Amino acid sequence: MSRDVVVTGIGLVSCAGEGIEAHLAAFASQEAPRTDADSFAPYPVHPVAPLTLDAQIPKKSDQRQMEPWQRLGVYAAGLALDSAGVKNDPAFKAALQLVVAAGGGERDYAVDGAILSGLRNAADPGAFLNERLLNDLRPTLFLAQLSNLLAGNISIVHGVTGASRTFMGEESCGVDALRIAHARVASGQIDTIMVGSSYNAERPDVMVVHEMGGFLDKPVYRPVFERGEENGGFVLGSAAAFLVLETAEHASARGARALARLMPVANDRMARKPGSVSASLARLIGEAGIGQPDVVLSGATGLADLAAEELAGIRAALPGAGIRATGDIIGHPMEVTAPFGAALGAALCAAGSAREVAVTSVGHRRGEGVIRVLAA
C-alpha cells in the first residue's frame, strides 16, 4: 500500500524571520543572511529573528520552563498547525502523531560552572563530583535537557496528543525523521503526522564542541561553496522547521489545500572516504526518483571537501540543475537541515515557483539523504 503524502502545513523560524513568506523572500534574495560576528567571535553565527513568543506560546509559565531550542520548536510547530488550519481542531490534534529530530538539549551553565570551580579545591574530586551530580541535577536527570522534551512541550502547548518519537543523530536524524514520517503515512499506518526539528546555535558550548572538531568557519560569513581555504567549515544558525503531512485523501476530505507532495526519502550512511559522498548522492538521487528539478536545495555544511563531493555527485546525476545552499539562507542548523530543506521546497512548490525540488543533506561527519518534493 502506497498512498500519496501531501504537505498541508509549514512552520519556519530562522534568521530570515518567521513563516513561509519571509523564507521565500530570503530564497529569492541574493543578500547574505543576518549574521552576528561579535557575540561568539571569532565564530560568526546566524541568530534567530526576534519572535513574539506569546503568539504561539501564550502562557508565560510555559515559556519560562523551556530553553531556547524548545521555544523555537514549539513556536514553529504552532506556525505549522496554523498553516494547516488545524490549530483549533482538537480532534485533528488528538490523532496527530509527531516525529522530532533533536540534539542533546542545552547545558545548565550555572551548574557546570559551579561544579568545575568546586573541583579545583575539592579534597576528594570524585566524591565531590558524585555529590554535586546527585544534588544539582535538573529533574530531567542530567545536565542538559532530555531530547524528547521538545515533543512533550509541543503536546502540552498545542494539544498534539498522538504518539511521538524523537530521533537523535545530528544531520542524519533530520533525514530519518522525514523518512519515517512519510513512510508511516504512505503505508497506511496513520493519516496525519507532524515532523520537524529545532536548533539553538547561540550557545558557547556548541561553539566549543564543533571548534574542537575543526568544523567551524571563521571569522566572517562566506557563501557555503566559497569556503575552500583551510577546508572551510560551517556557520551555525538558530532555526526550526515543522511540516504537517497527510494522505491526499484525508486532506481533500477536510477541504485542506495540499501545498506540495512529499515523496519517499532516500538515505544512506556511507563509510567516508574520497569519492564516497559523490557516489552515495548519485545513487540516492536515482533511488528518490529525482527527475528534472527546478532547483536543488543543498544542505551542504561548508566543509570544503564534502561540499566539492556533493556538488560533483549532484552535477553527475542532475546535469544543469541549479543548486542553492540552504546555509546561505539560514546557516547550518544541524538536525533542522533536512526538515528545513523539505519545508522550503514545499513552500516553493506552493508558491508556484517550482514543480519539482530536490533536497540534499550531507552530514558533517556521517549520513546522506535526498528528498524529492513535487507540486501538488
The residues near 133 (Cβ < 8 Å, ≥ 6 apart) are 115
Burial call 348-371: b when 16+ CB within 10 Å, e when fewer = bbbbeebebbbbbbbbbeebbbbb
> CA nearest 307: which of 332, 343, 330?
332
Binned at pLDDT 50, 70 and 90, residue 263 comes out as very high
CA distances from 212 to 78, 206, 208, 216 (A): 35, 10, 6, 9
Backbone angles phi, psi at 253, to 5 degrees: -65, -30
Residue 41 falls inside a structural domain: yes
Confidence tier at 145 by pLDDT (50, 70, 90): low
| pLDDT for the residue 113 | 81
Show the cell assigned to 320. Answer: 544543469
Asked, for residue 167, whether it belongs to a domain, the answer is: yes
No. of helices (H) and no. of strands (E), the chain: 14, 12
The answer to whether position 72 is within a domain reads yes
* Average pLDDT value for residue range 23-45: 96
Residue 111 and residue 105: Cα distance in Å, rounded? 15
Q: Which domain holds residue 328?
A: 5-106+144-374
- Whether 117 is covered by a domain: the verdict is no
Confidence (pLDDT) at 143? 47
Helix residue spans in the chain (DSSP H): 20-28, 60-65, 68-84, 90-95, 109-121, 125-136, 149-158, 170-186, 204-212, 248-253, 276-287, 304-317, 327-330, 337-350
Residues 193-212, mean pLDDT to the nearest whole number: 94
DSSP state of 193: E
Number of domains forming the structure of the chain: 1
Q: Does residue 134 sit within a domain?
A: no
Radius of gyration of the chain (CA): 20
Residue 140 is predicted with a pLDDT of 47
Q: Is 125 a member of any domain?
A: no
Note whether residue 133 is domain-resident.
no
pLDDT score recorded for residue 123: 93
d(CA 243, CA 259): 11
Task: Read off the pLDDT of each residue in 1-13 and give the average, rounded to a whole number.
Answer: 94
Q: How confident is the model at residue 138 (pLDDT cuts 50, 70, 90)?
A: low
Give me the CATH number covering residue 53.
3.40.47.10
Q: What are phi and psi of 17, to 5 degrees?
A: 125, -155
Q: Is residue 319 part of a domain?
A: yes
pLDDT of residue 229: 65
pLDDT exceeds cutoff 80 at 125: yes
Predicted TM-score (pTM) of the model is 0.92
- Arithmetic mean of pLDDT over the chain: 93
Amino acid (1-letter code) at residue 238: S
Please count the other Cβ atoms lying within 10 Å of the Cβ belonging to residue 50: 8
Which tens digit of pLDDT belongs to each residue from 279-305?
Answer: 999 999 999 999 999 999 999 999 999
Which residue has cell 509541543?
A: 154
303, β-bridge pairs = 232
